[in-house]
Every structure is written in C-alpha cells, then in structure tokens.
C-alpha cells in the first residue's frame, strides 16, 4: 500500500478530491492531512472524510521529529495548496516523492509569492491567451522541480481573475488525482 500525506494551507478542495479519489483504492491510501494553519478549512474536510489531520508550526516543520513522522507515515507527499517552502531535509528524504500542483504553466508565473489569485491576476494583467496547471516534483526552489504534467485552457479577453480561477480549479479537480496515481504507481 502506497501511503500519501497531503499538505494544505487553505480550503482543501484539492485535498478532498484526492481523498475521495483514493478512498476505495487497494494500492494507494491517504494517511494524513497536515496543515500549517489552525483555521484552514481543510481540517473540517479531513475530519468529515475521516482522515487524521494535524496542525504544525514552522519550527515543528523543520524538526527532526517531524521528518521522522513523515518517514514513518508516508511514501509520497502531496502539496495541495500548501504555501510554505518545504525544508531541504524533507526534500532530501523524499527525492522525487513530493508532488505539487501549480495554477499556471510553469515556468511562467512561478516562484515565491506566486500562488492562487496572485497568479490569476498576473495572467489576466498580461493578457495571456491561455493558462493551465502544472504538476511537478518539488525541489529546493519554488516551482522549479521537474514537470510531470501540464494541461492548458484557453482564456477569453473578458476573463477576470475569478474566471481564470474557476477554469484552473476545474483542471485541478479533473487531473490532479489521476496524475498522482500514475506518478506513485510507476
């Protein structure tokens, strides 16, 4: 059984989608949802879906105990709307086993501070004709790990950042769990 831990910082719609996708899997199981925000809606979602969750501080995130917990409980780590930079020790301990989703076609609109509506606003401000999602491995730099999968979507001149967010959310929901499955089973 391949064990996944999901890291999320916000509402947790992607985390919920992943949990539901693997609920009846014989090969893959979500073991925990971890967050750095005690007010994250993902905590309510994980409780409702009966997946253990845990809130951690930035100092805990960098501790040897936290790393040991991850080693004991996870084969892969999935970042689903997680905003902190992953410590180097965790990256070294899980080479090509930490997967992130980014709401743009990397390398465009990546890097520190480029998440959520910041990305969608930048895409609209630059009059892009299309955008999309990138699912990639995590390395020591924000949004620079090897790309696993990309899917694009066309934009209209009238699209607002909220319209872009809706289009991206649909791509995330349609593709993220399936790409995770293919990635962890190869």
Question: How many domains is the chain built from?
Answer: 1
Q: Is residue 141 part of a domain?
A: yes
Where in the sequence is the domain holding 102, given as residue range(s)? Answer: 2-107+135-150+175-185
Residue 61: pLDDT over 90: yes
> Burial, 1: exposed, middle or buried (Cβ in 10 Å; 0-12, 13-18, 19+)?
exposed
Q: Any idea which residue has 């253990």 for tokens?
A: 52
- Does the active-site annotation cover 102? yes
Q: Is residue 6 part of a domain?
A: yes
| Tens-digit pLDDT profile for residues 6-46 | 999 999 999 999 999 999 999 999 999 999 999 999 999 99
Q: Is residue 126 part of a domain?
A: no
Residue in 102, 120, 136, 169 annotated catalytic = 102
Residue 186: pLDDT over 90: no
Give first-to-last CA distance, the chain, whole Å: 13
Q: Is residue 69 part of a domain?
A: yes
> Model-level pTM?
0.96
Q: Is residue 102 part of a domain?
A: yes
Q: Is residue 168 part of a domain?
A: no
Instruction: Please give the DSSP secondary-structure letter assigned to residue 85.
Output: P
Q: Is residue 7 part of a domain?
A: yes
- Percent of the chain predicted with pLDDT > 90: 98
Closest-CA residue to 177 (of 80, 95, 90): 80
* CATH, residue 48: 3.40.50.170
């Amino acid at each position: 059984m391949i064990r996944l831990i999901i890291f999320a910082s916000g509402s947790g719609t992607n985390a919920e989608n992943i949990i539901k996708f693997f609920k009846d899997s014989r090969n893959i199981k979500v073991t925990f949802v971890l967050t750095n925000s005690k007010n994250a809606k993902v905590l309510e979602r994980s409780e409702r879906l009966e997946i253990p969750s845990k809130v951690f501080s930035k100092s805990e995130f960098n501790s040897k105990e936290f790393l040991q917990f991850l080693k004991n409980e996870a084969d892969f780590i999935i970042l689903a709307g997680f905003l902190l930079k992953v410590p180097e020790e965790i990256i070294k301990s899980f080479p090509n086993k930490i997967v992130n989703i980014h709401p743009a076609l990397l390398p465009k609109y990546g890097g520190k501070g480029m998440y959520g509506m910041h990305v969608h606003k930048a895409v609209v401000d630059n009059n892009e004709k299309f955008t999309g999602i990138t699912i990639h491995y995590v390395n020591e730099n924000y949004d620079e790990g090897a790309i696993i999968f990309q899917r694009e979507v066309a934009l209209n001149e009238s699209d607002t950042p909220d319209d872009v967010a809706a289009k991206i959310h649909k791509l995330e929901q349609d593709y993220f769990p399936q790409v995770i499955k293919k990635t962890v089973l190869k």
